[in-house]
Amino acid sequence: MNLTPKQLKVLRIVRDSRRKLGYSPTMQEIADELRVSKVTVFEHVEALIEKGALHRDANKARSLTVSADVLLPEDETGLDDRDINGDVAAAGRLTFPLVGKVAAGYPIEKFEQSESIALEELFGPRKGRSGDTFALQVDGMSMRDEGIFDGDFVLVDKRSTARNGERVVALLPSGETTLKTFFKEKDGRIRLQPANPDFAPIIVDDCRIQGVVIGVLRRY
């Protein structure tokens, strides 16, 4: 697709706005960022729509979206031109929502964030997986002996069940979330086992499995 430098900038602005905010910018906001007139932006947008690079819902505000089959130059190299808190998003690859931190020490209350992590296809959907994968940042050292350290990112396959020995993200009856190894005991209770002798197992009658860890990422 033959796009001008200005048109590429418009696409990046729309793409980044939808990634960060969940909706597209207005014509005026694009104009302000490019430091051009609103009329000029309108011309660029119309040209991009005609080329099939942008889509717009005529009956809905902030509805510009970049066409799924459009690859920007940085997408083709596997790198995005933005850096979210130091985490480089690899466009053209899978991007998972970063929804908060999970305790690998003592349980902490979960929270949501609007960031995301982009990963290689290695962590994409596979046979037997739900395909719904998210990322969490580890807070604590209770899984140290399994190579999961404070500050690491774990990739989690969203599931509601787990097998003995799987590392899980579990929601406790108290409403707190923790990362531990799952074991169903003979008496029916659940043991959430840390991988660090400084931490005691968490024994509960029941808990809600939110997902099973399928990978660990560490940034140096």
Active-site annotation, residues = 142, 180
The half-sphere exposure of 159 on its side-chain side, counting CA atoms within 13 A, is 18
Count of C-beta atoms within a 10 Å radius of residue 184: 12
- Asked whether the beta carbons of 134 and 199 are under 8 A apart, the reply is no
Angle at which helices 5-21 and 38-51 cross, to 10°: 90
Q: Which residue in 145, 199, 148 sits closest to 169, CA to CA?
A: 148
Q: Are 80 and 91 in contact (CB under 8 A)?
A: yes
